Amino acid sequence: MKNDILFLKEKAKQIRKDVLNMLFKARSGHPGGSLSAVEIMITLYYEIMKYDPNNPRWPMRDRFILSKGHAAPTLYSILADIGIIEKDKLLSLRKLGSPLQGHPSHKAIQGIEASTGSLGHGLSIGNGIALAGRIDRRDYMVWILLGDGELQEGQVWEAAMSAGHYRLYNVCAIVDKNGFQIDGSTTEIKDIDPLADKFRAFKWDIVQVNGHNFNELAVAMEFARLNKRRPTAIIAHTIKGKGISFMENKLEFHGRAPTEEELKWALLQLK
């Protein structure tokens, strides 16, 4: 790995602090799914992806698509940390006129590859970008982060069928499998399991990991990059609200910002 685990863990704490402060200031947003995806996005941006923060439109860059767009605060925090957006803009999250809206906007921020938030579209967008790379003979990867509730959308499986059929080996779908969606657990609302078997049936290779373990994530992502026969799906088993005891696996924090007292408690835990 490029960085030691202590560095990555400290980075995760900082990203979580940013997310909580942003959501508190905005008085709205999605802490649960933002916190569950922290280690996934950190591994991508600090260990795996090819990109140039000084040239966000570098043609040979890897592309990252946050299909579960409600986890935008985590992405914004990372983009600020690597210098693509200004750090002092973070607390403008969800404010009128701010480029940092509740879901990512391709037009507002150069480091955003696609405007997302209407769930189910990210994999289709990723397929198109991957096909364009093949036509242009550009050796980049397309990484798409999906939520597990999002996989109930039919368009996801149309896209999965297409990626398998066209052997889009430069596509990697990462599923943030935290077990919850806005109305309850994914098992109760509409069970997506057996998930690995579904992807295999659509001609994908599968890797299952602990979505909060940097080593496991990095190994799985390197496998996806080296895999030249078919697309890869990484099923990352995560915890909703990870890192904050009173938010972990709590449905109410899918879409509710912390109160002032909750923010203080959460920041104290992150120390």
Mean pLDDT (10-residue bins), the chain, 271 residues? 96 98 98 98 98 96 98 98 97 97 96 96 98 96 98 98 98 98 97 98 98 98 98 98 98 97 98 87
Peptide bond into 258 cis (omega under 30): no
Structure confidence at residue 130 (pLDDT): 98
- Which has the closest alpha carbon to 228: 127, 139, 129, 135? 139
Report the C-alpha gap between 82 and 67 in whole angstroms. 21
Structure confidence at residue 1 (pLDDT): 87
Structure confidence at residue 271 (pLDDT): 87
Report the C-alpha gap between 223 and 225 in whole angstroms. 5
Instruction: Kindly give the residue spans of alpha helices, DSSP state H, lying in 137-185.
Output: 154-165
Number of domains in the chain: 1
Q: 215-224: which pairs have CB atoms within 8 A and are 24 or more residues apart? A: 215/1, 215/5, 217/39, 217/40, 217/43, 218/1, 218/43, 218/47, 218/48, 221/43, 221/44, 221/47, 221/48, 221/143, 221/172, 222/48, 224/141, 224/172
Give the pair of three-digit tokens for residue 27.
């008085």
Q: Which residues fall within 8 angstroms of residue 250, CB to CB, at 6 or more apart?
A: 32, 240, 241
Structure confidence at residue 75 (pLDDT): 98
Task: Compute CA 60 distance to the chain's CA centroid, rounded to the nearest angstrom.
Answer: 21
Q: Given the structure tokens 């404010």, which residue do they identify?
A: 95
Domain range holding 126? 5-270
Q: What is the CATH number of the domain that holds 25?
A: 3.40.50.970
Q: Can you tell me whether residue 146 is helix, strand or coil? A: strand
